[in-house]
Structure 1
């Protein structure tokens, strides 16, 4: 099943090269001062001033002039920072490492499909893999760079037909995530004439599709078209339609969703025999789901409501395996027979345990179950009756996922850790052997001398919060190491171990990297998520502060050398961190974040966020959001850290007005001389950003953080120091 994490952990939003508007002698133009205009809103008797509300209109001439002035100021400041050429060369080496990445693998009809990222190409492409042990055999099916040499077109998702002979591909431009689907013939790689279905994917409700059994058509998510709904509703009311190949798309037939919430989203899957279709309806982004099943007769049956807490499902042979969190916040696995699809026919196959269930992949006689362990994950094996068969051997403190059924009881899956890049393994059930395929990446750096310490921090209410500390072996805890702390804490998104070359760009300069597993994620199940959402969102910020304090108390660093970074919901975390504890951080990197919690729900995707954050219409939720909303807690005269805000003009998930208003308020209020910069681009939330623009943004980000933390950049030879001899 296609899984959707939204808002995603934002990739750094990226910017097209802009000409510096600094004077000929290198003078730095001052940041333009945003006018304060008397505007106030009243919520449940509470009057809230909003002097920068006028900045919410992206097409307003005054707003555009202010943004242009901020860009000129930002470019002049960042372009003068030391060692930019050396930093650019290093980041280019790290991110353009020519070892290809393969991901989103799926096998249909004996054909293995995958996305392939091959630097220095700007975008990933869709390929067919005749052999997982010989990547040179890969055949390109769809290359966005051939369709759009600018690099601004990206593949949102792809879905092969059951027989592997056709594949439907959604593509969007400029970071908008507004994707049209084109159907390709797998044998020839050519698009089928006239087979383009518009507006299947979007930045609010996402999107997806699944084929019927014989490959003559597919069920897909359909946004309102044309004048079907008023303009304000065209990013809402997602429904499921069916498209028959060879017919005009305006003749597509309705299937499901007329009675669904305005903020509905869907995941779709077809059974292996093609007789059943599963639709998982999401109520916005807060983790509530309802399940629907289409039977062989073409009728839909509702299997569950939001209150039933069935959160995901997948097909097995003649059964449906369903993940339930009803009276089981860490999850239990149910089995429902397709012959009598009803909850009262369900049996508990795997009861709730200590680990949190993430997903299941059925094979001929086995179940491969992925479980969350507070950040790291593992894969357990059971027979079809739930009997334990052991654990698939994977590295400690690592992530496992992307399981692909190969036939029989054999599977393909991926792993990654903080120090090892992604690898893809074939597990052969008959002999229990694990074999590494050729689909993994090699590392651009030698990481053998990097140590990962996993410690627990005590939050304000006593909750134990995991913190992962990455550092070079022998790093002294002398309270003086430049340190970069990051977190997310929301939307059931777990920060599981993953390989990031940029972590090593920081560590090789003498730095320490710390990654926090905060409440709001799914690291310990639904209770962990619920205790970091809605009226309990403040727990996330308390958890993050506890992690920062531990880094200082254990003398990894000190506030003067501590930087923090986060994007999207993690950008909100950055805003709350810097306004609640400005004394704790030297610099803040806040990417595509939400900062005005009282007006976020007025944006399309903000509506989808209501189940996670709450609404100002609810008095209790309003008080909670107003209590931490970063924009409303900037205080005049406070000596704030330096901050680099980034935003995307085409961002469909977080409106760039959040960054504009926050920057205007902070520049007017701060009592320190530290810079508050806004870096705006013409892309989106980060998805689909070309490689070259990613590099340019990271050059700005790392030049900024190195300078602010007093790190004098030292050129490196491409390798971290080797481990000391024993």
Structure 2
């Protein structure tokens, strides 16, 4: 039962829907009273994935999807094109240890990346340190994270299986692959921070994000025996702990407060201290600001923060006096771009990465004056990610754009133009010509919202099949890295657009908050306005427009389609949130109340019900107004521990129930087993992407060239 509710009564629901498909077993509908409001939930039984009734219902959805998908003209062509685009070597930025480099590489044709070691100059052969396919030939096991110890003799490896994102942390010998000491099970993406100078008795800090296996917080673990000590406990509900060791000496402990813009930070000097009981000093505690810290080569603590700067700035502090009252601004806020990442450089200097409407800019700044010293010459208009500084001052960063596959760039000290790493990487493939432009739309409250549009090569001026993507959640900006799926769509002749709606982070913290919690309907209005603008400007007709979003973006596109059914002809919602009355009880929803609100608050409930796609679909079914709804493809993953596959199951049932009497089902569900919300084998990712965009092609009229 939903928090703050009580059962009212039970009523019978229909057992058959359109096309003879079983929508519900002969069961009673759940009806709750929430703050005096009656809320009906006829498909709550679908929240139980393992029951016979749910399995039979899913089998019918599988047959329904297969019958339709085999007739989509572009299904095979898109699959082959996406496979060609991902058939390349992918490297991660190297991590330097004495006498060796560690990195990951996914060779062309491989299903998963593997951890490898090489010589410091990236020459010679590769030694495979860990291969998830060797551990699990079925391909169901993914490499979630890895971290070599300071000596390079040991490596901590985290894996999970079946998509559940709750896996195993093991320590391996980096030379032989043999496991050292007992493993830790049931972890979700734990940070691992090795203690320095512990060759004879290696130990590391790691985090427990939930209470399933002990107190949430930071723990010290000794490798050989597996004994553990709690170093820092999370006491506030909904916080996520983090840990790093900076400069081989300073312990940094963080707590992120759910999905809000607040981070608490503490720092301790490990030199001469007992690692089980470090003296943690507050850097920022109880302040409504999101802050990230690094240690510079000059010994100062550098902090990227929203404190006093919604689009973020960089400050500096003495790690022995780290409190906010001692911070000094180094790089000020830019009013037109978000400061998304930074790395320390020799000089001392800072490499600062900003994003302006999805496109990255990278500059090196003087730490004394803050003024820019030089602007990096990037390969194109794309996305820079994860800058990290090597011991010799070289900065490694990721780069990708809409037409260029992800690659690692190496910036030598003092250089203006980074080079591709490893040096032997082949980048000679021709780059397709894709034109980018920005149009602006006016939302319902008058706010101007930007929309980025990518035109396919040799595009004309006539309206054409178009996918409009949006996310609009958790303050995350839309950045234009590489997507083989998007590029395959463009090369097939389709147009692709991205709406930078409120709720995302495209214009900083205030842009996020203006589309969060009770303001979430504004994000829906922004997307509706963006769709209308594309049609008005002649880029597509409404029947040629497909809305697309995943997770929180799936919620957004479904909400737009349910509230304004004539906004588009079709919708792709991948692993979406849909039932916004029950979201707190499914997956990680309890962590997201700062983003969406809570049904325990009557005003939040009113806002949630105003756009909840599941409840709007139920209402349309009751009013028999479903004929105007766009066609919907939902994807769901049985191992999804984030949004929970109950959302797409229930949403599909509600749409099918609303579509009785139509010639074809108004919604299709593509449902996968043994995968989850996160990474998967390449072949499965390609098949999913090809099916989703073949659906869009079929619905928008995009035909094979």
Alignment of 1:348 onto 2:329? yes
Map 1:608-619; keep pairs closer than 5 Å. 608-619=591-602
Match of 1:415 in 2: 399
Scaled by the length of structure 1, what TM-score is found? Answer: 0.87
Shift of 1:526: 0.8
1:395 CA displacement: 4.3
Partner of 1:282: 256
Give yes or no for contact 1:303–1:342 (8 Å, CA) kept in 2.
yes
Partner of 2:266: 292
Instruction: Say if 1:105 and 1:550 are closer, same or farther in 2 by CA, change over 3 A.
Output: farther
Q: Is contact 1:422–1:441 with CA below 8 Å preserved after alignment?
A: no
Q: Does the C-alpha gap of structure 1 residues 110 and 301 become closer, same or farther in structure 2, counting only changes over 3 Å?
A: farther
Shift of 1:416: 1.6
**Shift in Å, 1:117:** 1.8
Indicate whether 1:238 and 2:223 are aligned: no
Residue 661 (structure 1) aligns with? 650
User: Pick from 121, 128, 143: which aligns with 2:131?
Assistant: 143
**Distance verdict in 2 for CA 1:431–1:126, change over 3 Å:** closer
CA distance in 2, matches of 1:236, 1:513: 46
Distance 1:496 1:513, change over 3 A: same
- Which sections of structure 1, spanning at least 5 residues, go unmatched? 1-27, 225-232, 715-726
- Say if 2:474 is the partner of 1:491: yes
The match for 1:468 is 452
Aligned to 1:230: none
| Distance apart, 1:533 and its partner CA | 0.9
Give the Cα separation in 2 of the matches to 1:532 and 1:453: 24
> Is the contact between residue 171 and residue 223 of structure 2 (CA under 8 Å) also seen in structure 1?
no
Are 2:555 and 1:572 equivalent residues in the alignment?
yes
Cα distance in 2 for residues equivalent to 1:141 and 1:694: 25
| 1-structure distance, mates of 2:649, 2:530 | 29
* Corresponding residue to 2:22 among 32, 35, 39: 32
Conserved? CA contact 1:30–1:73, under 8 Å: no
Alignment pair present for 1:60 and 2:58? no
User: Tell me, what secondary structure is at the counterpart of 1:198?
Assistant: strand
Partner of 2:349: 366
Report how many residues are paired. Answer: 666
Q: Deviations over 1:32-54 (max 9, x none)?
A: 22257332112222211111122
1:106 aligns with 2:66: no
Q: Does 2:688 match 1:697?
A: yes
What CA distance in whole angstroms lies between the structure 1 residues aligned with 2:685 and 2:376?
A: 36
Other-structure match for 2:491: 508
Q: CA deviation at 1:672?
A: 4.7
Secondary structure of 2:496's aligned partner? strand
SS at match of 1:121: coil
How far off is 1:651 after superposition? Answer: 0.5
Structure 2 unaligned residues grouped into runs of 5+:
1-17
198 and 683 in structure 1: CA distance in 2 versus 1, 3 angstrom threshold: same
2:74–2:697: 8 Å Cα contact kept in structure 1? no
Q: 1:326 to 1:150 in 2, by over 3 A?
A: same
Aligned to 2:8: none
* Inter-CA distance 33–308: structure 2 relative to 1 (3 Å threshold): closer
| Preserved contact between residue 99 and residue 119 of structure 2 (Cα < 8 Å) | no
Tell which deviates more after alignment, 657-666 or 429-438.
429-438
CA contact (8 A) 1:531 1:539 kept: yes
Greater relative contact order (Cα < 8 A, sep 6+): 1
Q: Does 1:178 align with 2:166?
A: yes
CA distance in 2 between partners of 1:695 and 1:360 (Å): 32
**Could you say what secondary structure the match of 1:191 adopts?**
coil
Following superposition, the deviation at residue 85 of structure 1 comes to 4.1
Alignment pair present for 1:582 and 2:565: yes
TM-fit CA distance, 1:189: 3.9
2:208 to 222, 225, 250: 222
Q: After TM superposition, list the pairs within 5 Å mapping 1:196-215 onto structure 2.
A: 196-200=183-187, 202=188, 206-215=189-198
CA displacement at 1:557 relative to structure 2:
0.6
SS of corresponding position for 1:338: coil
| CA shift digits 1:373-429 (9 cap, x unpaired) | 232121121122143212222245321122121345432222222222223322223
Task: Provide closer, same or farther for how the CA distance between residues 650 and 352 of structure 1 changes in structure 2, counting only shifts above 3 A.
Answer: same
Q: Distance in 2 between matches of 1:237 and 1:466?
A: 44
Verify: 1:424 aligned to 2:414, yes or no: no
How many angstroms does 1:258 deviate by?
4.4
1:561 lines up with 2:561 in the alignment = no
The 3 A distance-change label for structure 1 pair 689 and 626 is same
* One of 141, 147, 154 as aligned partner of 1:153: 141
CA distance in 2 between counterparts of 1:351 and 1:430 reads 22
- Asked if structure 2 preserves the Cα contact closer than 8 Å seen for 1:158 and 1:169, the reply is yes
- Residue 475 of structure 1 and its aligned partner are, at CA, apart by 2.0
SS in structure 2 opposite 1:309?
coil
Q: Is 1:523 matched up with 2:506?
A: yes
Q: Distance in 1 between matches of 2:75 and 2:587?
A: 38
Q: Give yes or no for contact 1:654–1:685 (8 Å, CA) kept in 2.
A: no
Q: 1:444 to 1:171 in 2, by over 3 A?
A: farther
Q: Distance in 2 between matches of 1:694 and 1:308?
A: 38
Contact 1:310/1:322, CA 8 A, preserved across alignment: no
Question: The residue matched to 2:404 in structure 1 has which SS?
Answer: coil
Output the CA distance in 2 between the equivalents of 1:461 and 1:588: 25
Q: Provide the secondary structure at the position in 2 that maps to 1:73.
A: helix
TM-score, with length taken from structure 2: 0.89
Deviation at 1:497, TM superposition (A): 1.2
Match of 2:632 in 1: 643
**Partner-residue secondary structure (3-state), 2:414:** coil
1:678 aligns with 2:642: no
Question: Does 1:357 pair with 2:339?
Answer: yes
Q: Conserved in 1, the CA contact under 8 Å of 2:638 and 2:671?
A: yes
Q: CA deviation digits over 1:81-107, x for unaligned, max 9?
A: 446444443333333x1x201125433
State whether residues 221 and 239 of structure 1, in contact with CA within 8 Å, keep that contact through their aligned partners in structure 2: yes
CA contact under 8 A between 2:263 and 2:285: conserved in structure 1? yes
Q: 2-side partners of 1:237 and 1:603: how far apart?
A: 22
Counterpart of 1:193 in 2: which secondary structure? coil
CA distance in 2, matches of 1:368, 1:78: 48
Q: Does 1:169 align with 2:150?
A: no
Return the offset for 1:454.
Answer: 2.5
Q: Of 49, 65, 81, which aligns to 1:90?
A: 81
| 2:341 and 2:386 in contact (8 A); partners too | no
The 1:441–1:531 alpha-carbon spacing in structure 2 relative to 1, beyond 3 Å, is farther
Note the C-alpha offset of 1:627: 1.0
1:102–1:440 Cα contact (<8 Å) kept: no
Q: 1:545 aligns to what SS in structure 2?
A: helix
1:285 partner SS:
coil
Query: Secondary structure of 1:33's partner?
Result: coil
Q: Assess if the C-alpha contact under 8 Å between 1:318 and 1:339 holds in 2.
A: no
Find the counterpart in structure 2 of residue 591 from structure 1. 574
Any conservation in 2 of the 1:102–1:439 contact (CA below 8 Å)?
Answer: no
RMSD, aligned α-carbons: 2.5
